[in-house]
Structure 1
Amino acid sequence: MAYHQGYGGQGSKHRGRGPLVPPAPDPHQLFDDTSAGFPHAQGTPASGIDMGFNTLLADPMANVAVAYGSSIASQSKDIVHKEIHRFMSVNRLKYFFAVDTAYVTKKLALLLFPYAHQNWEVRYSRDTPLTPRQDINAPDLYIPSMAFITYILLAGIALGLQQRFSPEVLGMCASTAFVWVIIEVLALLLSLYLVTVQSDLTPFDLLAYSGYKYVGMILAVLGGLLFGSDGYYVALAWTSCALMYFLVSVRPNMDTYSNL
C-alpha cells in the first residue's frame, strides 16, 4: 500500500510532520505578547533604588541635614515677613494719616514759623508714639500728600497764565516731582546705611519729612504769582530757612523714634 510522502508506513513509530501552523491569536488579547523575544532582565533596579533611598533616610547625618535646612528656611521666611511688615505695614500707614483739622493748622504754622517752638520731643504712651492728632511733633503723610497735589495744580495754573499749559506738560511735571521724591528717599536710606547710623526710621518717616518741603514750594509759587519774581525769591528764602530749622530741630528725635 502506498503512502503519501511525509508519512511513515503502517505501524511506523514515527509519523511525518506537516507544516507548522501558529496558534490562532486570542480574540480578547489587545496586544501581542513579545516578551518571549527578549531575555529576562537580571535583577530588580526599582527595588535597588528603593533600598538606596531608604538607606539614605535612615542615615542620621542626612536627617540632621534635612532638619537644619528646614530650620534655615523657616528663619529666612520669618525675617522676610518681619522686614515686609516693617516697611509696608498697613497699621503703620494708618498711623501717618491719623490727623485732624487742629493738627493740620498747627503743623502748617510750625513749618512756616518754627523759630518760636520750644518742645520738639516726640511723646510716647507705653513705648508707642502718639498719633499726629495727639502730638504736633509726630510726622504725618497727610500734609505731604496734599501739598504735593496742591503744588502740581498750582504749577498748572502758573503754566496757564504763561500760555504754556498742556496736559502733557502737567503730567510731566507731576511725574518728575514724584520721581525726585522717590530718589530723595532712596538716597537718604542709602546714606543711613553707609554711615551705619542706628535708626528706626522707616521709608514712611523719611517720606513724611522730605514731603514737608512742598509747603514751602507752594508758598514760593504763590509769591511769584502775586508779587512777581521778587515775591518768589523772598518766599523761597523764608521757607527754605524755616524748613532747615525745622529739620535740624527734629533731627535729635529721629534716632530714638520707634516703630509701631
Structure 2
Amino acid sequence: MDSGRPADGFRQPAKVRTRGSTHSLGHPSHLFEDTSGNMEVPPSGPGYEGSAASFGLARPGILSDPMMSNLAMAYGSSLASQGKSIVGQNIDRFIPVSRLKYYFAVDTIYVGKKLGLLVFPYMHQNWEVRYQQDTPVAPRVEVNAPDLYIPAMAFITYLLVAGFALGTQSRFSPEVLGVQASSALIWLVIEVLAILLSLYLVTVNTDLTTIDLVAFAGYKYVGMITGVVAGLIFGRTGYYVALGWCCISIVVFMIRTLRLKILSEAAAEGVLVRGTRNQLRMYLTMAIAAVQPFFMYWLTFHLVR
C-alpha cells in the first residue's frame, strides 16, 4: 500500500482557482487596487445625446431658452389677470366690497359729530339722510348716515377696556378676554338675525340692509365703553349713572332713526293697511330700541366691582 497517496474516501480538496493571478497573490497590495479609473467615460458629441442623458448628463431644459421663458411669463401673467377679474366679479356676491367702502367713508369731523349725537341726541331735529341721484350721500357729509367705522372701533375699544377692567381686579386672562369677545360678537349676530326675522314677519318694505342693522346695533358699544370707564373711575355709582344716561340716549337715537327707515313705505299703502301695519312697525321699532339697554347692561355689569 502506497502511503504517499491518500485513501479513496480521503481525497484532498482541489485547489480553487481565483481571479487573481499568482502575480496578484504575490503582491497583496494589489488586492486594494483602485479600479475607478477603469470606468468608461461616456462619449460626447452630436450623436451621443441619448447616452449622456442615460448617465444623468441631460441637456439644458426648455425654459433656458429666452424666447420660451418670455412666453411662459406672458402666459402666467394672463392667467393671473383672468383669475383676478373672476374673483373681482364674484366676490361681490358674498362680500359687498363696494358697499363697505361707503360705510367707511368717514372723517374726523363726522366721527366727533356722530359720537356727540349718540351720547346726546335730544336736541337733534333733522334725522333724514340726504340723497344724491337716488343714492345716499357719504357719511362724512351726512351725520345721519349709518357707518361701520364707529361700531368697529367701539367694539375693539370695548374689548381693550374690558381687559383693563379685568386686569385691575386680577381676573384677566387671554381665555376670559376671548370669551368676552365671543359673547359680544354672538349677541350682536343674534340681535341682527332677530331683527331681520321680525322685519320679514311684519312684511316691512324698507331700504334697511343687513349692514345698516349691524351699524345701528354696534352703536351701543359707545355707551358701554362710557359706562365701564365711569365705573373704573367713580365706582359702581358712576357706572350706573353713566350707563343709564347712555341707555336712554341710545333708545332715543334708535327710535328716531329707525322710525324713518321702517315707516318709509307706509305712505304708498291704503288707509286701513297703513293703520294696522303702522302699529306693528312702531311696536317693532320700539322693541329694537328697548332691547339695547339690556344688551348694554348684560355685557358690562360684571366688569365693574
TM-score by length of 2: 0.55
Q: Which runs of 4+ in 1 moved over 3 A?
A: 84-88
Q: What RMSD in Å do the two structures reach over aligned CA positions?
A: 1.9
Identity of aligned residues (%): 62
The answer to which structure, 1 or 2, has the higher relative contact order (CA under 8 A, 6+ apart) is 1
Cα distance in 2 for partners of 1:200, 1:119 equals 19
Deviation for aligned residue 1:164:
0.3
Q: Which runs of 5+ in 2 are unaligned?
A: 1-88, 266-305
Deviation for aligned residue 1:201:
1.2
Partner of 1:141: 148
Greater helix content: 2
Partner of 1:52: none
Partner of 2:122: 115
Among residues 213, 219, 223, which one is paired with 1:212 in the alignment?
Answer: 219
Question: Could you tell me whether the CA contact under 8 Å between 1:87 and 1:202 is conserved in 2?
Answer: no
Q: Does 1:254 align with 2:261?
A: yes
Offset from partner CA, 1:107-148 (integer Å, 9 cap, x none): 000000100111111000111100100100000000000000
Partner of 1:187: 194
How does 1:1-260 map onto structure 2 within 5 Å? 88-255=95-262, 256=264
Question: Could you tell me whether the CA contact under 8 Å between 1:86 and 1:202 is conserved in 2?
Answer: no
Deviation for aligned residue 1:203:
0.9
Offset from partner CA, 1:65-103 (integer Å, 9 cap, x none): xxxxxxxxxxxxxxxx99x95873211111000000000
Cα distance in 2 for partners of 1:90, 1:216 equals 29
Count how many residue pairs are aligned between Structure 1 and Structure 2.
Answer: 176
Q: Which runs of 5+ in 1 are unaligned?
A: 1-80
Cα distance in 2 for partners of 1:200, 1:234 equals 36
Cα distance in 2 for partners of 1:180, 1:251 equals 20
Aligned CA distance change for structure 1 residues 129 and 86 (closer, same or farther; 3 Å): farther
Amino acid at match of 2:147: D
Amino acid at match of 1:232: Y
Cα distance in 2 for partners of 1:117, 1:181 equals 27
Question: Could you tell me whether the CA contact under 8 Å between 1:144 and 1:208 is conserved in 2?
Answer: yes
Amino acid at match of 1:112: V
Question: Could you tell me whether the CA contact under 8 Å between 1:152 and 1:170 is conserved in 2?
Answer: yes
Cα distance in 1 for partners of 2:220, 2:93 equals 25
Cα distance in 1 for partners of 2:126, 2:92 equals 31
Deviation for aligned residue 1:157:
0.3
Cα distance in 2 for partners of 1:180, 1:164 equals 23
Cα distance in 1 for partners of 2:94, 2:254 equals 22
Deviation for aligned residue 1:200:
1.9
Offset from partner CA, 1:131-173 (integer Å, 9 cap, x none): 1001000000000000000000100000000010011101111
Cα distance in 2 for partners of 1:151, 1:91 equals 28
